Amino acid sequence: MQVFRITKKKYASDISGKGAELFGGRWNPVGTPALYTSQNRALAILELLVHTPKEIVPPNQILLTINIPQKLESKILSVDELKDGWDALQTNEWTQELGLQYFQASDALGIIVPSAVISLENNIVLNPAHKDYQHIKITDQSEFKFDERLFK
């Protein structure tokens, strides 16, 4: 399985989940490492854009292709128990706890969650603390330049 991530050039080789560990995210509380990826390139880009001020064209971006070996795909679990408000603009503590429960209780290498930007598309949140995480590898790093029409 291939997943995608867009990031600043200086972080392109870092798939440790340290940023999410420091600041938390929709699916992980502060103190829990997580690597947020998307099932396709376009969604990865949209996920970045919704967190970027409209007047700023993000410079020095790298689009990563990350490989999850086929033998580990069964350890990527779908999150099915979502309740209203999971996609609120402000992060919900209960979605963070739900992600943490999957990582701890079910030995999940990752979780498949709907995107709050496009709920019919999915993100994959990977668990860097999982014993098999070292088998996940970056297979491509491509410079990405945004079309400036997106920022007009």
DSSP state, residue 91: P
Q: pLDDT tens digit string along 22-69?
A: 999 999 999 999 999 999 999 999 999 998 887 788 889 999 999 999
Q: Which two tokens stand for residue 126?
A: 């990977």
Question: What's the structural domain count of the chain?
Answer: 1
CB 146 within 8 A of CB 57: yes
Can you give the pTM of this predicted structure?
Answer: 0.94
Give me the domain span that covers residue 140: 2-151
Whole-number Å distance between alpha carbons of 126 and 138: 13
Query: Position 82: which residue type?
Result: L
In the chain, beta strands by DSSP E: 2-8, 35-38, 61-67, 76-78, 110-114, 122-126, 137-144
pLDDT for position 118: 95
Query: Position 88: which residue type?
Result: A
Q: Tell me the pLDDT band of 106, cut-offs 50, 70 and 90.
A: confident
Report the SS3 class of residue 40.
Answer: coil
Q: Where are the alpha helices (DSSP H) in the chain?
A: 18-23, 41-49, 93-105
Whole-number Å distance between alpha carbons of 132 and 92: 28
The answer to whether residue 139 scores a pLDDT higher than 90 is yes
Phi, psi of 109 (to 5 degrees): -75, -25
CB 34 within 8 A of CB 20: yes
